[in-house]
Every structure is written in C-alpha cells, then in structure tokens.
Structure 1
Amino acid sequence: MKSTRSARPSPALGPPRATTPLSRTPRTALVTMSATVFIVVSAEMMPTAVLPMLTADLGVELATAGLLVSAWAATVVVSSFPLTRLMARLDRPAVIAGALAVVALATLVTASAPTYAVAMGSRLVAAAATGLLWATINVHAVSIVREGSMARATAVVLFGGTIATVVSIPVGNALADLAGWRIPFVVLGVMALLVAAVALVVLRATPVVTEDGAGTVETDVRRPLWPVPVIGALGGLLLAAHFMPFTFVAEILAPSALPAPLLLVAFGAVGVAGVAAVAAVGDRSPGRLAVLLAAMMAASLALLPALGSSLLRDLMIVLLWGLVVGAVGPSVQTYLMRTAGPEHRRLAGTTMPVAMNLGIAVGAAAGSGAVDRWGLDRVPVLAVAPAVLAAAGFLAVGRILRAHRAVRAKASAQ
C-alpha cells in the first residue's frame, strides 16, 4: 500500500525527501551534480598539473609532493563509510552542498599554504569531504529519477568527472604557467563555493521519487545484500586492471609514431563518448553491459603490446581502450544501484567510491610491482587477468540474480 505521509527532509542517504514521482528527467539537478563532480575530480587531480612549481615553492621532493594525490585516494577509502554513517540523518542536498563547501575552503587553504604540511592537511580535509560527497551524490542521483532512468542519470552526473580528467590538468597547467601554481587552486575554490550555493537551492527544489513511484521496485520483498559488495569489488577489479598500465601511460604509448599528447586527447574524448553510450543504452540491461565492458577491457589491454605497428592500428587500440574506460564507471554504478534497490542504496552509494579508489590504488601498486619484477612490456598482458576475472564475476552474479528472481516470481505466483 502506498504511503500517505507528508513530504519531509530527506536524510543524507536514507528515506526520500519528497513523495512526488518525476514525470521527466530532472536535468537541472543532474547537471548541478555533474558540476559538483567536475569540481571534486579537478581538485583531486590538480596537484599533478602544477607539481614541479609546487615542489620548488614548498621545498619538497617530487615523490613527496606526489603524496598530495595518493593520500587523497587513501583518505576517501578510509573516511567514506564513517562519515556517511555520521551524516545519515541529515538532508541530502545540505550534505552535498556542505561537503562541497568544505572542499572549496580546504582548496583555498591549499592555495595559500605556506608549508607542505599545511598543504597536505588541507588536502586530507578536502578528501574526507569528497568521500562523503561521492557517497551522497551516488544515492541522490538515482533517487530523483525512476529506476528505468538510472543509467542516464548516473551518466549525466559522472560526465562532469570525465570532462575534468580531460580539461583540468591542461587548464590548470596553463594557469600555473601564467600566474603561479596557487592560482588554479584559487579558481577552483571559488568555483566550488558558487556551485555549492547553486546545489543547495536546486537540489532542495527537486522532488525525490519514492519506492512505490520508482516503477519496478518491489516493496514487499527485500533484495539480497550480497551483490552490493560483490559488484563493487568487481568494478574495483576492472579499475585495477586499467590502472596497471595507465600508471605508465606515457611509456606505454611511446612505441607509437603518433604523439602521446594526441593519443591522450583521443583517449579522453572517446571516454566522453563512452559515458554517452551508457546514458543511451545502459538502462536496458546493466548487468550484461558490465560483462561486455569487462570483456572489451580485457581485449583492449591485450592489444596494447601491438602499439607501434601502424598509425591507424595504434589509434584504434587507444580509442577502444578510452571508450571502455569512459563507460565502465557509469555502467558499473548503474548496475550496483539498480541491484541494490532502495533497501541497500545507502551501502551501494558508499561502496562505489571506496571500491573505485581501492581499485586505482591497487592497480597502480600492482603495475609498479610488475614493472620492477618483469618490465613494462609484461604489464598490459598481466592486466588482462583481472579484467577477465571481472567479466567472469559479472556473468556469475547476473546468472545467480536471474535465478533468484525466477524463484521469487514462482513463489509469488503460488
């Protein structure tokens, strides 16, 4: 029976704030969250754009300055679950806007940091807020659309992150060359404050779809919990496979006669196309799409040793790799959130950033270890193994879930 209670503020990751189903995609809210994701991904990556100038100004070694990026990922992993639990009773739009405001202020502190210790402290604060923000946005994005539009909503939100990976480093580097390494952080901090204010207004004005208004949610039978961590782990495994060679992407692309910057631009551009493809078809069968993308990831990694054979082949290999990488995030997240259902959405929303950041860290570490032991040439071939394992895992999860649904449907019919 449908609930008749009045609308009330939505907790950060809990019950919905409004009870009116949406008749169309809430584009303004999704674009606002996409801008938020653009900000936090840019903030995470910005030190890589200004590293030489930053190290010289703060008087630290290059490897030490690099910790400003790796410590960010580690902080997201450690802080996501406790912070989302702590904020679980608060209004989701307020949590998103507040977390982004913290990122903004911490980024401005980084811009004015007199020492490396201050810069690192501000980065850790921003990273902790980012973990909370990711977990909350993951839930809120799929809570304001019907279940059949989850892939589209997720792709729109994650599009901001994809654009950030393509744009933030070159723009930040250009600004640093013109005015010093601190200016990109100032610009980013001011942008974050503006987007936080917009997010608070826009997201609070956007109604949340209730469970019975989502269209395909069965409210009388709870969905199993186990697929949530399993799908998250498989997504992390795919990212680990990608980052094993991508950590050394300049060296991996070196055999090609095509300039590495040109190949990287093509890689990023086709990644945008991958996100768009998930938006177009991802809602039809997210589980099967995850299997397909994992298999395509394995194929693209297996082809990397062939770089250098011909210009056209080199371009095709990089385009395949970039297309898959762009599609993996929104595809796996859609599969995870759809499988979790409203019952386990809080866990699913927090699992995604933790699994992804762990995948990045493990992949980079595994790639470094493989280079030390077997050399760079072996890394792409070794990376095929986790991609194949992820494909097999997605396939197995899909079969088990289909069997579970069949048994449940049979029991309901009796």
Structure 2
Amino acid sequence: MTDTTSQFDSTLIDIDAAEPAAWSAATWFAVLSMAATSFALVSAEFLPAGLLTPMASDLGISEGTAGQVVTATASVGAVTALLSNVLIGRLNRKAVLVGLSALAIGSNILAALATDFWLLLLGRAGLGVALSGFWALSVAVVARLVGANATGRGMAIVTLGVSLATIAAPSMGALISDWLGWRSAMAMTAGLAALAMLLQLLSLPTLPASASNSLSDVLRLTRRRAVQLGMLAILLLMTGHFAGSVYVRPFLEQVTLLETWPIALALLGFGIASVIGNIAGGRMADADIRVALMATAALMAFATLALVLWGAHIVVAFSFAMLWGFAFGMAPVVLPTNLSRGAPDALEAVGSLMVVSFQVAISIGAVFGGYAVDNYGATGPLILTAVLAASTVALALLQPRG
C-alpha cells in the first residue's frame, strides 16, 4: 500500500494553516473515510432499538434486560473516553483508528454469535471502547486533514454519518431482523465496520502522534475558562435535548393526538432536517463559532417551546419537530468545534473531555426527562429542553467571538 503522507504535507497537517480554496481528492477521500467510520459505529450503537424483541426472545431474557446492551455501550464509552488518549500514547493515529475499526468488527461479530446475555454484553462493551476512542480522536484528526479554519466543515461531513445512522439503523435493523434474523442484522454492522476500515487504510495519511497525553494533562485542560464554557455548553444543550427527544412520541400521541403512521412521518422529518442542520452547522461553525452556538441553542429553545404552546395543531407540530431536528443536526458539529477552540494546542486531550461531556449529558438527560414526564406529563420534558437550550444561549454570550 502506498504511503500517502506526501499528499497531506504542509497545509493539510498544519492545523494552524489557512483553509485551502478547495480540498484535494485525497483530502475528500480521507474525510469521507472518517464519515464512513462514524456511520458504521453509530449504526451498530443504535441497531438494538429495532432488535429488542427477537433478541430477547432468542436469548431468553426480558426486553428490559436486552435494552441494557445500549446502556453498556454508553457506560463503557464514558469511562474509556477519559483514558483513550492516555492509553494510545505515541502510537500513529492512523494505526489507532484502523485498530478501533478492527475492534468494532470483532465486537459486532461476537454480539452476532453470542449464545447468552453476558457474551452479548461483552461484545457491546467492546463497541463502546471503539466509539469513544474514535470520537475522542475525531476533531484532532479532522483538523490535521483539512486545517483548523475548516474543522467545522470537516466535522459536518464526519457527523453526517451520525445523522444518517440514527435515521437508518433502527428501521434497517428491524427489516433485516424480520427477513434474516437479528444475528444477521448484527453481522451486517461488522461488514460496515470492515468497509470503513478498508477506506481508512486506503485514504488516511500516516498521522504520527504530535504529543503523548497523560490523565493529568487531560484534566488540566478543565482549568481553562474556554474549555469550561465549552463543556458546560455540551452538558446544558445535550442534557436538554436527550431529556425531551426520548418523549417526542408520547407528546405527539397525547398532545397532537396523532396515530402511528403520522408519528413515524414526523420522526422521519426530524431526521431529514437534522441532516440539513448538520451541513449548515459546519459552515456556521467555521464562520463564527459564537454565533453558531447561539443559533443552535436558540432554534432548539424556540422549537420546543413552540411545540409546548401550539403543538396540538398538526401542521405546527410537524413544522417545529423539523426545526428541532435541524437544531439537533447542528449540535454535533457546533459543540465539539466550540470546545476545540478552547484548546487548539491539545485537540486530542480535549476530544476526550468532549466525549465524556456528551455521555454524561445523555445519562443526565434520560434521568431528568423521565422525572419530568412522570410528574408533569408529556409536555414536561419539552419544557426542560427549552429551558436548558435557552440557558445555552445565555452561556454563548459569555464566549469570545471567532
């Protein structure tokens, strides 16, 4: 295999270089390989949502127990994120990314072949390691590929894989499960990871480690005010989103009084809008990250508040569900880019803090969202989303422009 390092010399590996007028074919290929990896990993992460019933029946466990495979992935990911950049030391980052894809292949195969719940759980834990390691490195690698001034655009393409996977994985898994069985659906994600690994091998340049991080180096970054604000923005906005988004279906059932098929249509619209938001978020993040953060949070706050106030009307419910999806699509681009601006000299270490912040936000959001719906009904979680998103707008005002 040809070493492609020479194609990425100077401007492409220098993260301080100005954005080139146009990316070369090699740059596009490398960034798209990262997007393919995000699609493969997130597809595997969300696949169980469409497989719980046949999986539980085959393994002789309850659906609630089967659902813990998702919890296992997230929990292991949160713990691993803090240590990932410490453990990889000065290994070549291309080799690490390829190794993480190989781990995802093995983990998905183990899950597909699992004869009991504990083997399934072990396979999902391995996937959690692969996910957290990939996302912890993603911003730093993308910045080295495209330049710091185009990081938002690069991350928009990478996280486009996330948006597509969250739309496709649950339904795709359910269809394949009904046709060939849940194990075949799990094996399919191993195939996706293998394709991503091949693309990485062919397209990524050699990426020598620029630094070796210790845990103290990672934690020391939390003393920086810009990093603190960036982590807080993730915690506020994503806690709000995950507190409310889980309960969109009950809201549409109880408040808008929709049947199953129009609810599915509304959720599809949410997903399509998130893909568009992903692209818009990348352009805004590169232009002015402070404005991008304010816009993302303000749109989410407005959309969820409008749903609470006027969501009984079908057209309003559909329109503002899509606006919420658009804002959510912007968030995975804007929030990491915003955090990375607080530590441009330590992108790998700050990547660990980014993954931890997202995982903690998901966990907190699930807890508070459940409390809100139990005590205040279907509108409770959406009110919480609006309040936390509005708080993020206020937080963005404290950040410097740029």
Indicate whether the TM-score tops 0.5.
yes
Distance (Å, rounded) in 2 between the aligned partners of 1:296 and 1:232: 20
Partners of 1:138 and 1:64 in 2: CA distance: 34
> Which of these residues, 297, 302, 307, is aligned with residue 300 of structure 2?
297
Match of 2:290 in 1: 287
Distance 1:201 1:366, change over 3 A: same
Letter of the 2:325 partner, please give it: G
The aligned residue for residue 363 of structure 1 is 365
Which of 363, 374, 377 is residue 376 of structure 2 equivalent to? 374
Query: What is the match of residue 329 of structure 2?
Result: 326
> How big is each residue's C-alpha offset from its partner over 1:9-63, in whole Å with a ceiling of 9 and x where there is no partner?
99xxxxxx96421344311111100000001111111111100000111111111
Q: Which moved more, 1:183-192 or 1:229-238?
A: 229-238
Asked if structure 2 preserves the Cα contact closer than 8 Å seen for 1:95 and 1:136, the reply is no
Distance 1:374 1:308 in 2: 16
Q: CA RMSD in A?
A: 2.6
Contact 1:245 1:252 in 2 (8 A): no
Whether the aligned pair in 1 keeps the contact of 2:284 and 2:291 (CA below 8 Å) is no
Once the two structures are superposed, the pairs formed by residues 86-165 of structure 1 within 5 Å of their partners are 86-165=87-166
Q: Following the alignment from structure 2 to structure 1, what is the Cα–Cα distance between the partners of residues 173 and 377?
A: 32
> Displacement of 1:299 after TM fit?
1.2
Q: Distance in 2 between matches of 1:263 and 1:9?
A: 44
Q: What is the CA deviation profile of residues 291-313 of structure 1, one whole-angstrom value per residue up to 9, with x for unaligned ones?
A: 12112211112122245533321
- Whether 1:277 aligns to 2:308 is no
- CA–CA separation in structure 2 for the residues paired with 1:169 and 1:113: 20
* Counterpart Cα distance in 2 of 1:82 and 1:265: 36
Shift of 1:70: 1.5
Runs of 5+ unmatched residues, structure 1? 1-7, 11-16, 211-221, 403-414
When normalised by structure 2's length, the TM-score is 0.87
Structure 2: runs of 5 or more not aligned: 13-19, 211-220
> 1:21 and 2:23 equivalent?
no
Say whether the 8 Å CA contact 1:231–1:394 is kept in structure 2: no
Matched AA of 1:251: P
- Offset of residue 280 of structure 1: 3.0
Question: What SS is found at the alignment partner of 1:355?
Answer: helix
Aligned to 1:219: none
Aligned counterparts of 2:309 and 2:100: Cα–Cα separation in 1: 44
Contact 1:253/1:307 (8 A) holds in 2: no
With over 3 angstroms needed to count, the CA separation of the structure-2 counterparts of 1:201 and 1:229, relative to structure 1, is farther
Paired residues of 1:236 and 1:357 also in contact (CA < 8 A): no
Residue aligning to 1:408:
none
Cα deviation, residue 129, structure 1: 2.1
Secondary structure in 1 matching 2:398 = helix
2:240 — aligned with what? 241
Once residues 46 and 106 of structure 1 are traced to their aligned partners in structure 2, the CA distance between those partners, rounded to angstroms, is 14
**CA distance in structure 2 between the aligned counterparts of 1:232 and 1:182, rounded to whole angstroms:** 38
Q: Which secondary structure does the structure 2 equivalent of 1:204 belong to?
A: coil
What are the residue-to-residue correspondences of 1:167-178 with 2, within 5 Å? 167-178=168-179
User: Among the aligned pairs, what percent are the same residue?
Assistant: 26
> How many angstroms apart in 1 are the aligned matches of 2:381 and 2:11?
48
The number of aligned residues is 375
AA of the residue aligned to 1:385: V
Q: 2:386 aligns with which of 384, 387, 391?
A: 384
Q: Match of 2:287, SS? A: coil
Separation in 2, partners of 1:275, 1:372: 32
Query: What SS class does the counterpart of residue 376 from structure 1 fall into?
Result: coil
Q: CA deviation at 1:265?
A: 0.4
Contact 1:225 1:344 in 2 (8 A): no
Kept in 1, the 8 Å contact 2:109–2:187? The answer is: yes
8 Å contact from structure 2 (residues 4, 204) kept in 1: no
Task: Give the distance between the partners of 1:281 and 1:80, measured in 2 at CA.
Answer: 27
Equivalent residues of 1:36, 1:195 under 8 A apart: yes
- AA matched with 2:234: G
Equivalent positions of 1:198-347 (< 5 A) are: 198-204=199-205, 225-254=224-253, 255-256=255-256, 257=258, 259-306=262-309, 308-341=311-344, 343-347=345-349
Structure 1 stretches of at least 4 aligned residues deviating more than 3 Å after TM superposition: 306-309
Which of 1 and 2 has greater Rg?
1
Distance 1:140 1:261 in 2: 36
